[in-house]
Amino acid sequence: ELHFSGSGTMLSQMKMSRSGDLYIPGSPDYMVRAIDDNVVDPNTIQKIAYLVPAIITPKGNSENVNSLEDLANPGVEVGIGDPESVCVGEYAVGVLEYNGLYEEVEPNITVHAESCSKTANLAALGTVDAIIGWRVFHFWNPEKTKIVYIRENRIPRISFVPAAVSKFTDNTGKAQQFIDYLASSEGNHFFREYGYLATENEARELAPSASILSLS
């Protein structure tokens, strides 16, 4: 049984229900919180895919958004994930702040989505003119969206998708086997098929100087 939600929301639900076999957030930031809250076994953590921020627009890019600066143009409606509970929203704010653009773009942010999937859908459905999301969002809806890459020296942080066994599980062995599969070469192949970056080197090609939070 799978449960999908924002990384922070999912962590809160696991803590309240004291249930779940695995925790797979969209960034290491939330895994750190899960460790601190004694929700996961830190010895079981593995990295399964990497995520690089990018601007995603609806296919036609009607507002001609070609850079971070364009997100501040009059009339451009921007969507991001909720930075309080959705990892991609936290990274979006970080990109804007790193480039000194948050105060200029913030008035154009019309939606704070509740999860990564809802953030991606803002572009796919044309609800907004652009989102700051993960590069992979385009590959979820390639026929409906366009990637506008952020210049490599303007990306402060790369994220990765970590997975860990929950301390609430009664199926430790099977949970660990599933994580091992996700992190295997076969798992890497699967993630690449769906547009993810499977290794740090692949992510570094898009953001060579960006930092990555360490979980060790």
Q: What is the DSSP string of 33-69?
A: HHHHTT-B-GGG-EEEEEE-EEEEEETT-TT---STG
Instruction: For residues 147 and 163, state if they share a domain.
Output: no
Same domain, 179 and 196: yes
Do 141 and 96 fall within a single domain?
Answer: yes
Domain annotation covers residue 2: no
The answer to whether residue 65 is domain-embedded is yes
User: What is the model's pLDDT at position 75?
Assistant: 97
The answer to whether residues 91 and 62 belong to one domain is yes
- 212 assigned to some structural domain: no
Count of domains for the chain: 2
In a domain, 167, yes or no: yes
Task: Clarify whether residues 122 and 177 are in a common domain.
Answer: no
The answer as to whether 216 is a domain residue is no
State how far the Cα of 68 lies from the Cα of 56, in Å rounded to an integer: 11
Specify the CATH number for the domain of residue 72. 3.40.190.10
In this structure, the answer to whether residues 59 and 45 fall within a common structural domain is: no
In this predicted structure, what is the pLDDT of residue 9?
84
pLDDT in the model for residue 214: 87
Q: Model's pTM, two decimal places?
A: 0.89
Q: Is residue 119 part of a domain?
A: yes
Q: Are residues 45 and 57 in the same domain?
A: no
The β-bridge relationship of strands 78-81 and 109-113 is parallel
Report pLDDT for 123: 98
Same domain for 65 and 97? yes
Same domain, 46 and 65: no
pLDDT of residue 196: 96
Predicted local distance difference test score (pLDDT) of residue 182: 94
Position 213 in a domain = no
- Residue 180 belongs to domain spanning: 7-50+159-204
Q: What is the mean pLDDT of each run of 10 residues along the chain (216 residues)?
A: 77 92 90 95 95 98 98 98 92 98 98 95 98 98 98 96 95 95 94 95 97 87
Does the residue 149 lie in any domain? Answer: yes
Query: In this structure, are 38 and 81 located in the same domain?
Result: no
Main-chain dihedrals φ then ψ at residue 53, nearest 5 degrees = -65, 145
pLDDT at 27: 86
Write down the pLDDT at residue 37: 95
Residue 4 confidence (pLDDT): 77
